[in-house]
Structure 1
Amino acid sequence: MNPSEMSFYQPDHDAFRVSVREFVQREISPFYLEWEEQHLVDRTAFAAAGAAGVLGTRVEEAYGGGGTDDYRFRFIVAEELASAGAASYSAGLAVQEDIVIPYVMELGSEEQKRRWLPGLTSGNQLGAIAMTEPGAGSDLQGTRTTAVRDGDEWLISGQKTFITNGIQSDTIVVLARTNPDAGSRGFSLFVVEAGDSGFSRGRKLDKIGLVAQDTAELFFEKVRVGRDRLLGEEGNGLRYLMERLPLERLSIAVAALCSAEAAYGWARDYVFERQAFSQDVGDFQTVRFTLAEIETELEVTRAYVEAATLKLNRGSLTAVDAAKAKWWASELQQRVINRSLQLFGGYGYMLEYPIARAYRDARIQTIYGGTTEIMKEIIGRDIAARAKRR
């Protein structure tokens, strides 16, 4: 499949792809295995993305961005990074681009946007979002981190875990409970900066996959912040999170699809390069059937994810649409990569092959951003509500 031949993309997207591919070949691929060995992507890779125009595509030009509210450009970045097998870098970039930047861009005051967006868009500052806690993952109303008023300031106390970009982040969007008696309206968002007194980082977490991607524990011990650090309105934290989950989940679905397509491409090429019993492995019927099944599933899934992307562009992507895309694409990713690795035989188990790294890196996709089970619950509730209205 060649995405540039699909009507989903226009000539300006194709031109952007050329620049992204050159960026990946120049700034990412030569260093990626080194980052895997050191278990950390160099910060310079994010600054390089900003300089190349790969980061901040949806940010207004006044703050240093590309000024285009078209998620297809981000789709292209995900495709090119997946083709290069750079999952750890892609995950960190996605948090910066699809979560942190939109929160500041959409909720920040003019002063806040001028303070944080240029650095985030250039990649000279790294962003993180601190939602998950040791006892609160998908159930954000179980958040125990608090922000207590102290005059015109707030004191933030608590612990967060599994935070992407946590070790190297400069700008952290933090969910905290501001009113224990207000139910879902008792939460607010704050921005904590790396140099704030009382803020500290725990260990860099050792994961099954995405080993070069920075994931950490964060600690807040009476971190004092002014009113200028409150993002949006007090009490609307959970609502803001819910409103932006469709983009986050679509981002995961896009990454999952792109990773699966890349794995399939490697396997398809491999089976027609390798011979067994005096013929190409790809000429065995069982292998051809496997290829046929995978390619069909990928094309059907791409149609749905592309449609969801266009809905996002129009502002009509619902939480249910995004949940469907997220669970289906991420589960598809597991199946496709597993079957593709099988076609490599023993070589598929060697980490020097990108298919092995993709197999290891894919496992988190059905967990973060809301597990498959949570996605099905969201969809199921919607089905029940619609059925009961009849």
Structure 2
Amino acid sequence: MSSSPMYEEKQNTELNESSFHNTVKTMFDRADIQINGDRPWDIQLNHPGVPERALSKGNLGLGEAYMDGDWDCPHLDEFFCHLLDARLDKEVQPLRLVIHSLRARLLNLQTMKRAWQVGEQHYDLGNDFYAAMLDERMTYTCGYWKDAETLEQAQTNKLDLICRKLQLEPGMRVLDIGCGWGSFMSYAAEHYGVECVGVTISSEQAAWVKARYPDLPLDFRLMDYRDLEEKFDRIASVGMFEHVGRKNHRIFMEVAHRCLEDNGLFLLHTIGKNTRKSAPDPWIDKYIFPNGDLPSIGQLGDAADELFVVEDMHNFGADYDRTLMAWHENFEKAWPRFSNQLGERFHRMWRYYLLSCAGAFRARDIQLWQWVLSKEGVSGGYQRVSE
């Protein structure tokens, strides 16, 4: 007697799920990750469809499954470090990710109209939320942990390092492209006696810094960097270039070039990737930083070609791991204050964001660079700051 169509469909579904499960298990074995194992970095499946979502949609499917509560892991940061150390992300290339990659390569996703999306979706979550996660100055970029024991010390170290690399002197006029909550500008004005102009695309940030620093010589402007025309003795851009996009790298450098005095210095602090051919992560793009695009060293070099001399380049990407873990600790401690407002799905989303990025920096899959650039080369050579 032949089996019913419903029975055959159930059998096929079970076979497909088993096939996906076995494929993922084989891949995880190479990364020393066990399914339903008992180690902190092992993945715990709460729903049978997770392997299928991961293989069909890559990190987008894996991240959405985590947000839905379909799987858990005691230490997400270690899970991602193991996964990326084994380069498993390079093996999962479903068609929808190829389309995502082509879209990032061929289209300008960071036009002046689209550039404001990241401010509205990410940075305008609320100043109280970020104040609970960040340091006292609201520094939302990688700390510098040499000789530091706390997040506060690491961020102060980083801000002072930037000031020293820029060789700031009293009375200088400084531009901060993508000024955030004004951490660099306020520190530079207080400790080095400079005047600062900062631009941001976040209305929440602009309102916060204007209220926070009424007595410092700081000018905060809600505007796109491409509208800048003035001249400055020094320029800094700290954690903003990740939003510029490959189609606009050259435009950004041209803006910095036209705004910098001939004998000035420009410091660019940015997360970077190890290859120019990769595409933005689809989960990060959808849920955290819309239209983000990490640059490679080659792309930065192309953008600066004939505009700037690279005086110095410093990689301290490993410090971002420790910074993200400190942010995560603060976030989890503060979460009860925001749980009713934001909900458990956001909680899981934000945890996934912080810890997956920590794992990526730990695996050295992505980097953090500080570049010091001049227009014509520093006469006699740039004196590198003692780290």
Structure number with larger C-alpha Rg: 2
The one of the two structures with greater contact order (alpha-carbon pairs below 8 A, sep at least 6) is 2
Give the structure-1-normalised TM-score: 0.23
Q: Which protein is richer in helix relative to its size? A: 1
